[in-house]
Structure 1
Amino acid sequence: MNLLIDIGNTNLHWARQDAAGLGPMTGVRHGGGLPLDLLAAWEALDPPRRVLVGNVGGADLGETVARVVRAYWGLEAQFAVTRRDCLGLRVAYAQPTRLGVDRWLALLGALGRGAAAALVVDVGTAATFDVLASAGQHLGGLILPGLTMMRDSLFAGTRIPPGEPEPTDEPWAADTGAAVATGSLHALAALAERLHQRLWDRLSESAGAGSAPPPALLITGGDGPRIAPLIARPLELVPELVLCGLARLASTQWRPEN
């Protein structure tokens, strides 16, 4: 059994991987530390063979996880590091390590699900959009504030009273707080549609005669289910996509120094 850990800016998710595949994902808010219920759950686990970690939550939290792994199982946690070429994925960045490891792992996860081309949208503390063309070529991506950060920055930078920032079922609102909440949801959903269409157009141009099949649209992250209903095209919600990328690494002889 392998233990796979995804440390985000706000939440920590983990799952076990065994011969049957990836198990159920469990998530907690970490607040910069490891909650007691998480420690109790890990203490009850059968000893893993390997522990792989994707960490964008900061060096201190990563070191805390590493210490717990040593104390519980006598293992060294293996922290994923973005590589230019790995398991069929080629990163577009001139400096690959500047691509967040969570984004890289999500792209590896998308390839592992058989996506020939895809737009990968991760809606968490930040909202990231990564474009994957055919044959594993990453074209680049975009980063925006996530829903909470987008709303908070607007309220902080204006004199708009926050009110009750609950979105409406309509694409507009008759209250300022609801207008901000609804607007942030539609902004991210509309960008997902726009980038997906741009990618599809590009693939069709490259295909020559006829139109290329539509690329996959994969939505992940804690707020993914909030924007998914607003996107007017086929998509897949894959909350565990980063862990899927870690699972691909764990199924190989990959090591951080490779």
Structure 2
Amino acid sequence: MILELDIGNTRLKWRHKSSAGEEITAEGTCKDIEEFRAGQLKEQPSLFRFCSVRDQSITEDLLTWSQTHWALTPQVANVRRECAGVRINYQDVSRLGVDRWLAMLEAYRRASGPCAIIDSGTAFTLDVIARDGLHRGGFILPGLSMMQNSLTANTRIRLSKEAKAESTALGNSTDEAVLNGSLASLVALIEKQIVELAKDSADFKLYFSGGDAALLAEMINFDKFQIVTGLVLDGLALACPQFADDKK
């Protein structure tokens, strides 16, 4: 059994795969590392690989636990300048989030060409990969909830509990003005990038992931997109292959 783990900003995502790495046999989420350890570290895997955007101490703790209890050294994903055909243009590649990087690796593998990856969760990220695998760059913004929470936390604005973003039209109430405004800002950014991408590559692929993926995809004036899951965990297999000879 292969154990894969994505330690994100707000939750952990895990899954079990067959030893051949072809079939997902179980998957789920946890709120913290203690819950994960209690539920998913009972059965020893043949391979354990993970990524983390949290404090380095969590990575070190998992490494120590696995080595002590299983005599198994996990594979930890770290951003590399070149991997699986993707080339990173950051001057300091360590400043690129490993979750964004893994998602890019898998998206480029699926697209086999130019693509854009939009992840809309706690944060909103948009990354663009050229046909030759060059990461052209990206954006990081607050996600929809974080945008709205920043207003309620720093102003006297209060939103109704039942309020939710459903339109990019001008708002006729404070709820609509805040919710529609935050949604409209992300939709406008996405549509601008679609126009720019189409100038260079009419056949580019657009991938949405994250909790607000369906909402954002519904709002854009573009119908050639895919809503996907598991990009980060799928990218782990590219960054941390089962066999050393597969690592490129």
Residue in 2 aligned with 1:62? 59
- Using a 3 Å threshold, how does the CA distance of structure 1 residues 66 and 178 change in structure 2: closer, same or farther? farther
- Paired with 2:166 and 2:211, the residues of 1 have a C-alpha distance of 20
Counterpart CA distance in 2 for 1:64 and 1:165 is: 41
Of residues 49, 54, 71 in structure 2, which corresponds to 1:52?
49
Structure 1 residues 170-229: Cα deviation after superposition (integer angstroms, max 9, x where no partner)? 4334331343223223322332222122112133xxxxxxxx32x111112233233222
1:74-114 Cα deviation digits (max 9, x unpaired): 32222211111112110111111111111110011112213
Q: Does 1:229 align with 2:230?
A: no
Please name the residue that 2:229 is paired with: 239
Counterpart residue identity of residue 21, structure 1: E
The answer on 1:151 being equivalent to 2:141 is no
Q: Which residue in the other structure is 2:93 paired with?
A: 96
Letter in 1 for 2:34: L
Contact 1:112 1:244 in 2 (8 A): no
Q: Distance in 1 between matches of 2:244 and 2:187?
A: 35
Cα shift at 1:22? 5.0
Residue 28 of structure 2 aligns to which amino acid in structure 1? T
Which residue does 2:13 correspond to in 1?
Answer: 13
2:131 pairs, out of 134, 151, 154, with 134
Give the match for residue 208 of structure 1. none
Q: Which structure 1 residue ranges, 5 or more long, are not aligned?
A: 204-211
Identity percentage of aligned residues: 36
Task: Name the residue aligned to 2:30.
Answer: 28
1:164 touches 1:178 (CA, 8 Å); kept in 2?
A: no
Q: Is the 8 A contact 1:121 1:220 kept in 2?
A: yes
The Cα of 1:13 is off from its aligned counterpart by 0.6
Is the contact between residue 186 and residue 227 of structure 1 (CA under 8 Å) also seen in structure 2?
no
Given residue 193 of structure 1, which amino acid in structure 2 is its aligned partner? E
SS of 1:21's partner is: coil
Corresponding letter in the other structure for 1:87: A
Counterpart-to-counterpart distance in 1, 2:14 and 2:227: 18
Long gaps (5+) in structure 2: none
Q: Counterpart of 2:132 in 1: which secondary structure?
A: helix
Q: 1:158, CA displacement in angstroms?
A: 2.4
Pick closer, same or farther for the CA change 1:194–1:135 going to 2, 3 Å: same
SS in 1 for 2:89: coil
Aligned partners of 1:59, 1:235: CA distance in 2, in Å?
35
User: Take 2:172 and 2:117, find their aligned partners in 1: how far apart are those partners?
Assistant: 33
**Cα distance between partner residues in 2 of 1:165 and 1:190:** 25
Work out the CA distance in 1 between the residues paired with 2:186 and 2:116: 13
Distance apart, 1:150 and its partner CA: 1.1
Q: Which amino acid aligns with 1:174?
A: N
- Residues 175 and 68 (structure 1), Cα distance of their counterparts in 2 relative to 1, 3 Å cut: farther
SS in 2 for 1:136: coil
| SS at 1:34 equivalent | helix
SS for the counterpart of 1:162 is coil
1:78 paired residue number: 75
Shift of 1:12: 0.7
How big is the shift at 1:2?
A: 2.0
TM-score when normalising by structure 1: 0.83
